[in-house]
Chain A
Amino acid sequence: MDIGQARAILDLAHSAFVSMDEEGRIVYWNIRAEEIFGFTRAEAVGRVLADTVIPERFRESHWEGLRRFRETGEGPVLNQRLEMSALRSDGSEFPVELTISALSEPDGWSFHAFVADISERIRLEQERQLLLDELQLALRGTEQRLAVIVDALGEAVTIRGPDDHLIHANRAALDRMGLASVEELREADPRMLMAGWETLGEDGNEIRMEDLPSVRALRGEEPEPLMLRSVHRGTGEEQWVVLKATAVRDSSGSIEAAVTIIEDVTAAKRSSLRMEFLARASQVLASSLDYQETLRNVAGLAVPQIADWCAVDLFDEDGGREPVAVAHIDPSKLEMAERLRAFEPEELDPQQGLGLVRRTGDPLLYKDIPDELLVEAAVDDEHLGLLRAVGMRSVLIVPMVGRSGTIGALSLVSAESGRTFDQSDVEFAGQIAERAALAVENARLYSERSAVARTLQSSLLPEALPDLPGWEIAALYRPAGHESEVGGDFYDFWELGGDWLMMIGDVTGKGVGAATVTSLVRHTAWAASDFDRRPAAILSRVDAALKRRPSLSVCTALCLRIASGQATLASGGHPLPLHVGERGVSEVGRHGTLLGAFSSVDWPEQPFEMQPGETLVAFTDGVTDTVGEGDERFGLGRLKEILTRTQNESPMVLRERLVAALEEFQVGAQADDTAIVIMRFTGAKVAAGDAEKISSTTGVQG
């Protein structure tokens, strides 16, 4: 993802966001980080993170962890929620919760952390513990006294009797349970009460009555606090609570009741789940330029923590859409989504759902999906059946807004979990959608650049190799590096009055700049050959054209004129071609001056004759400069050796042998463009007319 854009988003984040390079220096610091740590961005960026926000006693282990990660790639603290102490600019310490992720970037590792100040939460926890202790003391009195104390508390508190029945609850607890009075509570079957909610643990497993801390306390255990997610089966409201229970004993020491304090941690839990999700989604979004795969991965991360279903659709220009991703924790349900697609119209309805989001660019929240809405939306009974089977409870559609407008939408569906979405979900989903939009646009931009590069590259090479009478030809072009860049190597063949001209060359540099020079070289050579077809004259024109450019533009090129078996060669600073024949493999031609570079120039021509069965191999320095084990170069020696071994092979086969040898030799990525032209003289089919042209060619040469 584009770093500037990502940072702009991060400045909007509610959490502090801090990035560090592998040397341990702060490289990014958002607005919220300024607030909680008390350092401005200008003060923080560039400083050593450890010396800035980590209390002295933890610094050593911070450096040790960083060193170990750099050596082994193992970071046990990465990608999970951590609680620790941090330093403010005034030297005071405060508790924070954070999630750290590591990204591999071209210039090394970088580390990113979402950090939340949890001072308030810790303070509340401590207060509750005090309360619980006081209760313990108070409970030594009568039940009546107990009830008075409990009722005075703002926290939800329940008291469970030895037979597992709830015997008391304060107002806050009764409200949570939707009960009017303590009498109602006492009459209720505790199991029936609990059945009004779906209760799941942090791991997603169901919590049974036996697992509740109060019930375990009654059995004489000392239960740990339990965090659970409850979804009210009636309203769909989701809550995260922590239950802490303690047993109350009478004077003889036997357990007579258990008191539970119910702490609502919904906001904190959601925010930490979202932090985790955002950190992981950011990583996924930055990890690949294949946006379809990326979006599928993000959708996969969203289930089931954020929603039961997550779908991503991209809009096309004709009012249609491309479904890119659908995720559900249960793969068998995905089939249902496929079948539902079949009922959807080709064109989006601008009055509802995706179409409406596309038209307005605003998020759309269907907090509740009543059955009437399904009936209205269904086109037939089968469709309605499917819609009902999905069991949609709540639907949230947020637009993916990028630089070029609304390019798609992210849909979240709550179904079997029974929870309903609220405004905080809308904001959160909006953040994900915005990041996803940027990732898609960047990926598209990249593939457009690649397409431009491919088009440009193919315009710089002949569309097909020509049919030269009496010759067999094969050529190879392998650009190095990123596919979005155009290489600087080129070759070309053109016919002129019965002669053939071949040119192979290498423009220094890559990209569009190099492509412009390549294009100039080719066009100048074509035009020059109309006036004077001697290779030296053509090179001289190209040299002059390059020197007219405002900035230094240099190029090596080999120019060969062929008339049947007669050839004339000149080199403009280019490696000389190899002649493969009965007498072995040897360089042919004489060195000439690099084009576009020097004031003193000389392009000596070398006429020579090819015998049937002989081969000429022209290449660029990418071949001989190929890097192998221990930085060794492929070199001219190896090239000659291969050609000696394969001298009777056809150009096609020879080309394959060369590619195989280069690939076997090469270590790491290909460093430079590689071009090879292989021409074998067969001497066959020289018609009478051609013979005449040969003599005229010789005439010009003489």
Chain B
Amino acid sequence: MQGDTARLAVTGELDIATVPRLEEAVATVLAQGTRSLIVDLSRLAFVDSSGLRMFITLNDRASAEGWSLGLIRPPDPSYSVFQITGAEENLPFIEDPSP
């Protein structure tokens, strides 16, 4: 965590069983007054609809509360979920600022 920018990295699978853990981590980070959150999905192996739903909720919340959210693109197999659902154009995918 640098200044008011926080970065969370997700490794492995994001589904109904693991979404609560990410939600918890996000809540902890936001409670510290973060104004900019980057979620690194570059090591995401799998994501299902509940994971997708979580990112939609998070993005809506960022817009409403006025902080910024950036998602670092996951590798192809898990990125396809974002492509199939049109989330690709609607969620704030970014280039990794610190590769």
Contact = CB atoms under 8 A, between A and B. Distances in A.
Interface of A: 506, 508-509, 552, 554, 556, 571, 573-576, 591-594, 597-602, 621, 625, 631, 633, 671-672
A591 B84 contact: yes
A601 B90 CA distance: 9
Interface in B40-58: 46, 48-50, 52-53, 56-57
Given A552-B56, A552-B57, A597-B56, A508 B49 contact: yes
Nearest to B86: A593
5 contacts: A554-B49, A594-B85, A597-B53, A597-B90, A598-B89
A175 B53 CA distance: 80
Contact of B84 (A575, A601, A602): A575
A597 B16 CA distance: 18
A573 B84 contact: yes
A397 to B, nearest CB: 49
Interface string B55-82: 0110010000000000000000000000
B93 to A, nearest CB: 13
A506 B84 CA distance: 13
Contact of A621 (B13, B49, B87): B49
B49 A506 contact: yes
Contacts of B50: 508-509
Contact of A598 (B49, B83, B87): B87
Contacts of B60: 552
A602 B53 contact: no
Interface of B: 13, 15-16, 46, 48-50, 52-53, 56-57, 60, 83-87, 89-90
Q: Which of A554, A573, A592, A600 has the most CB of B within 10 A?
A: A573
Contacts of B53: 508, 552, 554, 597
A621 B48 contact: yes
Contacts of B87: 573, 594, 597-598
B86 A602 contact: yes
A598 B86 contact: yes
Given A556-B49, A576-B84, 15 more contacts: A506-B49, A508-B52, A509-B50, A552-B60, A554-B49, A556-B85, A573-B85, A573-B86, A573-B87, A575-B84, A591-B86, A598-B86, A598-B89, A599-B90, A671-B16
Main SS of the interface on chain A? loop
Contact of A593 (B15, B46, B85): B85
A383 B48 CA distance: 67
B12 to A, nearest CB: 9
Nearest to B47: A625
Name the 7 nearest CB pairs between A and B, nearest first: A593-B86, A573-B85, A598-B90, A594-B85, A508-B49, A597-B56, A508-B53
A602 B86 CA distance: 8
Q: Which of B56, B60, B84 has the most CB of A within 10 A?
A: B84
A600 B90 contact: yes
A554 B52 CA distance: 10
Nearest to B50: A508
Contacts of B16: 671
B48 A594 contact: no
B57 A594 contact: no
A594 B13 contact: no
B31 to A, nearest CB: 22
A302 B57 CA distance: 55
B48 A672 contact: yes
A593 B90 contact: yes
B46 A594 contact: no
A142 to B, nearest CB: 84
Contacts of A506: 49
A633 B55 CA distance: 22
Contacts of A599: 90
Given A552-B56, A633-B46, A574 B84 contact: yes
B6 to A, nearest CB: 23
Contacts of A598: 56, 86-87, 89-90
B13 A631 contact: yes
A690 B25 CA distance: 59
A593 B53 CA distance: 13
